[in-house]
Amino acid sequence: MDSAISSGIQAVRLGSVGLAMSDIYGGNAMQLTFFLLADLLAGTPVLPTASAQSLWLGALGAVVTACFIFGLLARREKKMLGLGPDSLVVLLTYIGGVVLLTYVPG
């Protein structure tokens, strides 16, 4: 995860926002293939055995990704606190999701 963050930050510094976004989406897509690999190795679906916290974080990741996709499609130039509205929504969603994670059972 830290390499994805550092490469994303470097891509933005170089002015290549497209590279940063493809890094994020490519990482998310790659993680989905790990479920397929885990299913094949286990011989049975692994998601039904996932903990509620893991499912919560997976759903949070899907919501955050959807917010970024909407932000790419909407392309609003207005900024608040130096961030676009989509980035603020992602930040608040992520913080809220992590805080609410403490209430998700084991």
User: Which pLDDT does position 100 carry in this prediction?
Assistant: 94
Q: What is the rounded distance in angstroms from the CA atom of residue 15 to the CA atom of residue 12?
A: 5
Could you tell me the two tokens for 82? 């130096």
DSSP string spanning 48-90?
A: GGS-HHHHHHHHHHHHHHHHHHHHHHH-----BTTB-HHHHHH
User: Which pLDDT does position 30 carry in this prediction?
Assistant: 73
Confidence class for position 98, pLDDT limits 50, 70, 90: very high
User: Which pLDDT does position 3 carry in this prediction?
Assistant: 58
pLDDT at 106 over 90: no
Phi, psi of 65 (to 5 degrees): -65, -40
- Which is more confidently placed, 100 or 34? 100
Give per-residue pLDDT as tens, 45-92: 888 888 899 889 888 888 888 888 888 787 777 877 777 888 888 889
Sign of the torsion angle spanned by Cα atoms 46, 49, 50, 55: positive
User: Which pLDDT does position 103 carry in this prediction?
Assistant: 93
Question: How many helical (H) and strand (E) elements, i.e. helices and strands, does the chain have?
Answer: 4, 0
Show me where the domains of the chain are located. Answer: 1-49, 51-106
- Which is more confidently placed, 97 or 87? 97
